[in-house]
Amino acid sequence: MHREDLEIASPDVTRAGQLDRFNALLAEILPQNRFYAAKFGGLKPPVDWATFADLPFTTKAELVEDQATAPPLGTIATYPHERYLTHHQTSGTAGHPMMVLDTRESWDWWIECWQYIYRAAGVTERDRLFLAFSFGPFIGFWAAHAAGLRLGAMGIPGGGLDSKARLRMLAGAEATVLLSTPTYALRLAEVAKQEGIDLSATGVHATIHAGEPGAGIPAVRSRIEAAWGARCFDHSGATEVGAYGYTCAEQTGLHLIESEFIAEVLDPETGQAVSDGEVGELVLTNLGRAGWPVIRYKTGDLVKAGGHACPCGRTFQLLPGGLIGRADDLMVVRGINIYPSSIEAIVRDFDVDEFRIVRTRQQEMEELIVEIEAADDVAEALADAFSERLAVRIPTRVVPADSLPRFELKARRVVDKRNE
């Protein structure tokens, strides 16, 4: 449950609470959860931190296979089907959507995790929340909507509308908070500019984003804040894990909700913890979702370990810069490691309406081309910026306005043409 005192507790107190919660979770699930009973063999709680660190990792591939071989729920579901309250599925960006269910208790846990996000963004019961999101099977902002209602804020669902209609609805309802992907916040700003709408006059004082790393990139955050005249806040979560991270007003990085999750930042190759300032893979254990637990779950997200100090006073573990990218998004161009978020961080410093990264292969070597909707003179300046900041020349070409796709959900700006 959301408790402000937990956000400022000492790391030792937080860690002791995590172990107590983890042992309570094991006691609940091991007699009933076939997935972890098989995975952990004869494990008997309580366990200590040394035993925890020796537990095997859980991967999404395992969960997808589990559900495919033991349909419909797989063996990861702790309880009978009738015990569950909500049904969602992962977005399936890797081609394998997965069903994920929550009990009444774990759905309540989702809602309480979102209270940390709202409180950090300064959202109160006086706010009106506009959710620029089509409410489909993906969990998206479903929990955000439910959490807003519990907070006492007005919820304004903006599904089933095009961008112009959403802007009219947002203004007409006098919304004060926007929730969307960062990409879609910029798309709404683009449409508003075309329609002569001044977003800074709408009364929106905060924007909250999830679904992709964009809001953690300073250049993206600055563009959103400039367009909307509002503070921009990042949030991280995953359907199979929960809502686990948020940014505060200091914008120093992503705070992990350590009262509800055990977070590890590990070297993807060795599985050992990295030092502060080093990049590793985020591995999460959720503590309040007994009906659908994940233990030492390899998220595939790369982050920078950052300790626990933040000027806001919170002591939850901090990830400077938020999510850097996904391990499987890595592109190697002439020996230089490049992530899509690194390219976006540079693109957003220029007057570019939309962009796309095209991966190609020339003489067995990977190459990139960045396509942009912008004025002709931007391409050369942007290519120079890539050379300066990434130490590699990336050809950049201008394409016609409105020729690149726009996205409401997760943006898919990388096109792979290496085998064409």
List pLDDT tens digits, range 96-131. 678 999 999 999 999 999 999 999 999 999 999 999
Say whether pLDDT at 93 is over 70.
Answer: no
pLDDT of res. 340? 86
pLDDT tens-digit readout, 269-326: 899 999 999 999 999 999 999 999 999 999 999 999 998 989 999 999 999 988 887 8
Going by pLDDT thresholds of 50, 70 and 90, the confidence category of residue 94 is low
The CA distance from 138 to 92, in Å, is 9
Confidence class for position 1, pLDDT limits 50, 70, 90: low
Cα–Cα distance for residue pair 322/92, rounded to 1 Å: 22
Topology of domain 1-327, per CATH? Rossmann fold (3.40.50)
Read off the amino acid at residue 411.
Answer: A
Quick one: tokens of 353? Answer: 């309406």
Assigned CATH class of 330-416 = alpha beta
Q: Is 383 exposed, middle or buried (0-12, 13-18, 19+ CB in 10 A)?
A: middle
Residue 47 pLDDT exceeds 90: yes
pLDDT band at 91 (very low <50, low <70, confident <90, very high): low
Q: pLDDT tens digits, residue range 359-417?
A: 988 767 788 999 999 999 999 999 999 988 888 889 999 999 999 998 877 788 898 88
Nearest partner of 356 among 417, 300, 409, judged by Cα:
417
Res 200 pLDDT > 60: yes
Which residue matches tokens 């609940």? 28
Query: pLDDT-based confidence at 23, cuts 50/70/90?
Result: very high
Query: pLDDT over 90 for what percent of the chain?
Result: 74
Token duo for residue 331: 């592109």
Summarize pLDDT for 138-172 with one digit per residue, the tens. 887 899 999 999 999 999 999 889 999 999 999 99
Domain positions in the chain: 1-327, 330-416
The band of 43, judged by pLDDT with boundaries at 50, 70 and 90, is very high
Fold: same for 1-327 and 330-416: no
Assess contact for 409 and 140: CB atoms under 8 A. yes
For residue 95, what pLDDT is reported?
55
Contacts of 119 (CB under 8 A, 6+ apart): 2, 4
Judge if the upstream peptide bond of residue 340 is cis by omega within 30 degrees of 0.
no
As a whole number of angstroms, the distance between CA 165 and CA 13 comes to 49
CB 255 within 8 Å of CB 310? yes
Whole-prediction pTM: 0.85
Computed over every residue of the chain, the mean pLDDT equals 92
